[in-house]
Amino acid sequence: METAATDALLVIDAQNDFCEGGALAVQGGAGIMPLINRLAERFDTVIATQDWHTPDQISFPSNHDGATPFTEIEVAYGRQMLWPDHCLQGTLGADFHPDVLPAVTKALAVVRKGYNPAVDSYSGFYENDRRTATGLAGLLRDRGVKRVFLCGLAYDYCVRFTAEDAVREGFEAVVIEDACRAIAEETAAAAKAGFAALGVVEIAATDLTPHS
């Protein structure tokens, strides 16, 4: 698959807390960072997303009496998974992993999400209330982007929701599967089914060729 000038690479949540030793570690997360750097070299437009939570984030079990991580609660916008407290604003856990800094340095923008304590956020396009936009769609359109390639963490949550919203916003979406890692097999399978239903394409990094 040849890349084009109208493509963008979206680097999703390549942060310390999602890598080994982090508060919400995804197995193998740190290992994909060098590949993400190599991918970033092939794109004229690179944008990164960054989880950016406050301590009173609604999805943290520490803010609900007796709650435990990886259980769901009912909130104003529907069902919400509770996650271990992670990616707190200004902390080392919220920082980009040091091995992905070349890609982040190339990024023309960092889209921060999840900073509203009353609403969690997976997608780079919308908060979990499905109404509050991050501005990413407008930024991509202003750059003339037609197709987005996605990599990062985690495949079955933030990558998935961002890819699916990209299609809903009128972009073509391509997930570079070996440049992502998933939290769990079950949710990874659900993500794959969702991609197929919406026309999100999945490729390997070796399937990409640079545009001339």
Question: Does 59 reside within a domain?
Answer: no
Q: How far apart are CA 41 and CA 24, in angstroms?
A: 28
Question: For residue 18, what pLDDT is reported?
Answer: 98
Question: Does 125 reside within a domain?
Answer: yes
Quick check: 13 pLDDT over 80? yes
Q: What's the mean pLDDT in 113-130?
A: 97
CATH for 119: 3.40.50.850
Question: Does 46 reside within a domain?
Answer: yes
Question: For residue 184, what pLDDT is reported?
Answer: 94
Count of structural domains within the chain: 1
Question: Does 72 reside within a domain?
Answer: no
Question: Does 26 reside within a domain?
Answer: yes
Range of the domain at 35: 7-54+91-207
- Side chain identity at 58, as an amino acid letter? I
- Side chain identity at 128, as an amino acid letter? N
Average pLDDT score, the chain: 96
Q: Is the model more confident about 212 or about 59? A: 59
Question: Does 173 reside within a domain?
Answer: yes
> To the nearest whole percent, how much of the chain has pLDDT over 70?
99
Q: Each residue of 30-51: b (16+ CB within 10 Å) or e?
A: bebbebbbebbebbbbbbbbbb
Residues 66-109 have pLDDT tens digits of: 999 999 999 999 999 999 999 999 999 999 999 999 999 999 99
Question: Does 36 reside within a domain?
Answer: yes
Q: How far apart are CA 147 and CA 127, in angstroms?
A: 21
Catalytic machinery residues: 13, 113, 158
Residues 6+ apart with CB under 8 A from 195: 160, 163, 164, 175, 201, 202
Question: Does 67 reside within a domain?
Answer: no
pLDDT band of 211, cuts 50, 70, 90: low
